[in-house]
Structure 1
Amino acid sequence: MPVARVNRRLSRRDFIALAPILGGLGCCTWAHADPLLKESAPEALAMDYRADASTVDAAKFPKFKLGQTCANCSLYAGDKGAASGPCGLFMFKEVTAVGWCNAWEKKA
């Protein structure tokens, strides 16, 4: 017995019903990605990002001063005391609170 094939186009109503589900799947995939910025990432290399400010070579980076970390930078948006948080410079990535990069600016 032959199987009946349904050759139906997706209606506007069906599309509107599916849109939130498909959008949610995209967000779930992004949420499971590693949010922590790696030093080897192209954007990190461009800004001389270091995950630990104590490893910054002050001779190589004259802008660096002892005590500068992502946690006390104006671009850092992490919670006080958190190990990492979002940075205004690196979209969709978090930086370590003890990190440093060449864009460091004193928090007001």
Structure 2
Amino acid sequence: MKKTDASNISGADPSRRRFLAGAGTAIGAAALVGALPRRARADDLPHLSPTDATAQTLGYVEDATKADRAKFPTYAAGNDCANCNFFQGGSAAWGPCQLFPGKAVNAKGWCSAHAKKA
């Protein structure tokens, strides 16, 4: 039996205790990182083409000033993807949009589903 001193009353090896505490922390951190939602980087995404079927349905244009106002009267001057609630690109020129998964939209673009950020 090991001799214990006052600082190690339980008799457990302090290096083992440190290892187990570190391993537990690492496993917890790995689980937390794995549970976080992954965001696609705009650089990794192909740009949405205005000829895409969903893009055409929603009237997506890469330049908001060229929105078809006759077909989509909901367009308002100043609205673009950069100030839409669905745009996730921050201040980037192109970024992911929740409406077009797997594609990057132009921050200066617009579609009929535009929902201005609060």
What TM-score results when the alignment is normalised by the length of structure 2?
A: 0.60
Listed as ranges, the gaps of 5+ residues in structure 2 are: 1-42
- Pair 57,95 (structure 1): closer, same or farther in 2 beyond 3 Å: same
The answer to whether the aligner puts 1:99 opposite 2:112 as a matched pair is no
Q: State the 1:34 CA deviation.
A: 6.0
What TM-score results when the alignment is normalised by the length of structure 1?
A: 0.65
Find 1:43's aligned residue among 45, 54, 60: 54
Structure 2 CA distance, aligned partners of 1:34 and 1:90?
Answer: 11
Which residue does 1:14 correspond to in 2? Answer: none
The answer to whether the aligner puts 1:63 opposite 2:86 as a matched pair is no
1:32-83 CA-to-partner distances (Å, cap 9, x unmatched) read: 9861000001111121111110111322211000001000000000021x11
Structure 2 CA distance, aligned partners of 1:84 and 1:40?
Answer: 17
SS in 2 for 1:85: strand
- Write out the 4+ residue segments of structure 1 that deviate beyond 2 Å after TM superposition: none
Which residue does 2:84 correspond to in 1? Answer: 73
SS in 2 for 1:89: coil
Structure 1 CA distance, aligned partners of 2:45 and 2:95?
Answer: 13
Which residue does 2:98 correspond to in 1? Answer: 88
- Pair 33,85 (structure 1): closer, same or farther in 2 beyond 3 Å: closer
- The question of whether the paired residues in 1 share the 8 Å contact of 2:48 and 2:104 is answered with yes
Aligned residue pairs total 76
Q: What pairs with 1:14-29 in structure 2 (closer than 5 Å)?
A: none
Listed as ranges, the gaps of 5+ residues in structure 1 are: 1-31
Which residue does 1:9 correspond to in 2? Answer: none
Question: What code does the residue aligned with 2:77 have?
Answer: L
Larger Rg computed on CA atoms = 2
Aligned identity (percent) is 45
